[in-house]
Every structure is written in structure tokens, then in C-alpha cells.
Structure 1
Amino acid sequence: MASKKMFRDYIRDARISSGLSQGDVASKLGYSTPQFISNWERGVSMPPIDSLKTIAKMYQISPEELFETMEAEIVKDLKLSLHKKFKTA
């Protein structure tokens, strides 16, 4: 299942498999620079929720799988953050 893979790797691999460059994706989503897409693929940020269905269609992947992979990463990060805060409290 894709949720085992880190979101940044999942979204990068899906883009590459679809034959799109970061610039192609940025342009299709209305971004002025491919840096936004690079940030997703480096784990710096995540795409907006309202763009996921469009991204899934461009990448020819399941929108549900894309969402679930992103959700799993967010939950994992939140758990780590809460655990660290609990340990230092």
C-alpha cells in the first residue's frame, strides 16, 4: 500500500511515472515556479487539499490513495510532534 511510502517519495515517483516535469505540474496548477512542486517532493510542504484530485488526475493515480498517503504522513508527523512535547513537559 502506498501509505507505507513517504508522501514526498510517493508524489515524486507518481509525477515521474506520468512523464511530467515539476515545471509542467506547476504550470498546470497555476503556480509561477516549479519550486512549489519541489517543496512537496522534498517534504518541505504538502499540496493544498483542494488540489489533490487535480494532481491525481494529472499523475494518473487514485485520488483516494494520494489523499490516504498524505493523511498517513500528516498523522505520523503529528504523533512524533506530540510525543516530543509530552516527553519534554
Structure 2
Amino acid sequence: MTDIPNSLKKYRRIMGYSQKEVAMILEFKSTSRISRWEKGESMPSVKNLLKLSFLYATLPNDLYHDLWIEVKNNLRKKK
């Protein structure tokens, strides 16, 4: 699997959170999921993506901008 580009780390830092704080807020036992998401090794569930969006005061498409553009362009081609 190729890495999934995202801005999770950028927005987390802008909001002043550590990975540990985000993990605690999302009720995870460790930071491993947060780390994998930020590295693009995996993606959060829709529910967790919405939680991150709320926590980081931004929209989901801002957190995964490149993926958002790719999906949007692919759908436009199919019209």
C-alpha cells in the first residue's frame, strides 16, 4: 500500500496537541493509530475522521486534501 498523503500532523500541531493527547481524547490506549494515520500508513474510520475534524477545527477534505482532489477529479471525468 502506498502512503496516503494527509495534513493530520500539521493540523494537530496547529491546535497544539500531542499525539498522546489526541489518543486520550479519542479514547485510544496508545498513540500507534494516530502515528500510522499521520504517516499515511492507514486511514481513520469515517467516525474518527469526523472527530479529528472537530478537534482540529477544520473539514475532513482539508485533512486529506490530495485524496479529496483525486476523488473529485475522478468523479468529474465520469460525468
Asked if these proteins are the same fold (TM beyond 0.5), I'd say yes
Quote the offset at 1:33 in angstroms: 0.2
Higher relative contact order, chain-length normalized (CA < 8 Å, sep 6+): 2
More helix by share: 1
Higher Cα radius of gyration: 1
Quote the offset at 1:71 in angstroms: 4.2
Q: Is the 8 A contact 2:61 2:68 kept in 1?
A: no
Gaps of 5+ in 2: 72-79
Partner of residue 42, structure 1 = 39
TM-score between the two structures when normalised by the length of structure 1: 0.63
Pairwise CA RMSD: 2.3
Q: 1:72–1:63: structure 2 CA closer, same or farther, 3 Å change rule?
A: closer
What number of residue pairs does the alignment pair up?
67
d(CA) in 2 for partners of 1:73, 1:36: 24
Gaps of 5+ in 1: 1-5, 76-89
Q: 1:70–1:26: structure 2 CA closer, same or farther, 3 Å change rule?
A: farther
TM-score between the two structures when normalised by the length of structure 2: 0.70
